[in-house]
Structure 1
């Protein structure tokens, strides 16, 4: 029972004490109003507008998710397409067969963390700060490669406890390429097609993996499209998804090395994040400037772009760090001028 409801019922308990000086009809009206208000405030949809609640099928605003992706994510047509279809489709399914598992791949600064944050914010009011969203950093949570068995037990216990509390829990595993081999295999039962495991259903949970692994292959495909004069928007998921899954499966440094998650086809989408071009970095800079309430001036944008490194040599098509760390450069130039 939330605090508002407790206050109202405390008031009702005090009614016998204060009713002597009040007309009977007034007491009746007061009780009726208090009961009605109690029921209103007890309604989940009311207090979940103000508090962070475990998500339901109705919680996701698909239109808002689509708009946020279009307005804030640049140059990632494959990632936005997958997220706009897979996440709403999964959330609005009241009886999914298994959890939703997304594996994001690409070089740093291409938007993997950013889109993960948008997903969390579209489902939970507090976004990544929600108690129902759990973020793992291998260098922080799994730093010692000699403690794999210990980490497996801890990870299983953590996921089991949180899904027991909220079936719509979200788990984000960052920097998978730094994950000790074997640790991620411990969550295989939770990602499989089981109705329940020890009385707990994991079917409504979301698992998101972020990795730099496969970035070189993605960049190679993007560069080949550019060299052949094709638009990058012509790149399709099928052009990269199979090679990505095979690449990370056979890469000892991927965190997915010979993992049963891939072997048993438990990852629903391998999502490539393409390297960002000059125009995409420019859009990131302009967005950062506007977010600070400054006027976008070409001189400031050009000054920041001059400091961005591009590759390959001589052609300089893609930004080496994507849009990462641009916020600091924007701070420097905007406040300097």
Structure 2
């Protein structure tokens, strides 16, 4: 909506108010009704609301972002695009979309959740319909998990009641009490509604380091076999991941019914990053700062990171997480 359109609406609004004073009560009711509609239109333009003006999935944008901003994650990119695209284009999903992202530090878990939000909400991660929970910040004391569980259930219910297209991201799942997530299990199930509230159009994303060792082992096996990492497929990792986090007492999913009842739609593995991907991350960071990408400088930054295993130096221990500060140092 452009400035001219807004001015027109405001003009109509002032005109209808004037007309309301000139007519009989019946006509006045009609005029006031029209005024109310115009008022809501103007209000919703300036204030975020749960409607297509503020929530509109951009599949092309998400695909472009995954290709140009997320590096070394061919499995995750493919799953995320198909899962989110299919879900957002389904007007009557049977359950909420539930994704569980697993990988080493700096591989892109948080970044992916931001890309999804930026291509659903006009306000991106600043949207009032996007909710991020960090375990060590929001649920720091395991002894109080019953209290946290109650608060969490109320928070989710209230926000989905406000907007069915709400998104909830849980970071540091491996540091969360196992019983906490089980408490919201009903919201993720195949219910048409619970107490009059439907959760079927909401998105839940879990981020965790749990299972990273299994992912790294698989990636290293492919590297030792001189196979291209792009040959690694979801089937090589998904069942391995689900079993690993289900049996890991530190995963946040330990013995949880979410896995037992198959309520997680996709376990998404994020592969450890190699030097070539760190270079690409650094070049992207330069571009985001308005700089001309410098290959030589990017390689210096990449070489400065710690890699493992120590002798082979295959995978970056911190992925792309420290690129910003490393680049500052070289600049």
Q: TM-score, normalised by structure 2?
A: 0.88
Q: Does 1:84 align with 2:81?
A: yes
What aligned pairs does 1:1-337 form with structure 2 within 5 A after superposition?
Answer: 8-15=12-19, 51-54=47-50, 59-334=56-331
| Displacement after TM superposition at 1:251 (Å) | 0.5
Q: 8 Å contact 2:275–2:316 — kept in the other structure?
A: yes
Q: Give me the whole-angstrom Cα distance separating, in 2, the residues matched to 1:41 and 1:274.
A: 50
> CA offsets, 1:102-149, max 9 Å, x none?
000000100000010000011001111110011001111111111111
Structure 2, unpaired ranges of 5+:
1-5, 23-30
> CA offsets, 1:244-298, max 9 Å, x none?
0110011011011111111111000000000001100000011111222223334
The number of residues matched between the two structures is: 315
| Displacement after TM superposition at 1:163 (Å) | 0.4
Q: 8 Å contact 1:55–1:168 — kept in the other structure?
A: no
Q: Give me the whole-angstrom Cα distance separating, in 1, the residues matched to 2:159 and 2:120.
A: 16
1:196–1:281 CA distance, 2 compared to 1 (3 A): same
Q: Give me the whole-angstrom Cα distance separating, in 1, the residues matched to 2:144 and 2:203.
A: 26
Worse overlay, 142-151 or 35-44: 35-44
Q: 8 Å contact 1:195–1:201 — kept in the other structure?
A: yes
Q: 8 Å contact 1:132–1:169 — kept in the other structure?
A: yes
Residue 23 of structure 1 is matched in structure 2 by none
Q: 8 Å contact 1:55–1:123 — kept in the other structure?
A: no
Where 2:195 maps in the other structure, the secondary structure is coil
Where 1:123 maps in the other structure, the secondary structure is coil
> CA offsets, 1:195-227, max 9 Å, x none?
010000000000000000000100000111111
Q: TM-score, normalised by structure 1?
A: 0.87
Worse overlay, 213-222 or 287-296: 287-296
Q: 8 Å contact 1:53–1:124 — kept in the other structure?
A: no
| Cα RMSD, aligned residues only | 2.6
| Displacement after TM superposition at 1:174 (Å) | 0.3
Q: Give me the whole-angstrom Cα distance separating, in 1, the residues matched to 2:294 and 2:137.
A: 40
Q: Give me the whole-angstrom Cα distance separating, in 1, the residues matched to 2:215 and 2:173.
A: 17
Q: 8 Å contact 2:283–2:295 — kept in the other structure?
A: no
Q: Give me the whole-angstrom Cα distance separating, in 1, the residues matched to 2:92 and 2:300.
A: 52
Q: Give me the whole-angstrom Cα distance separating, in 1, the residues matched to 2:40 and 2:239.
A: 49
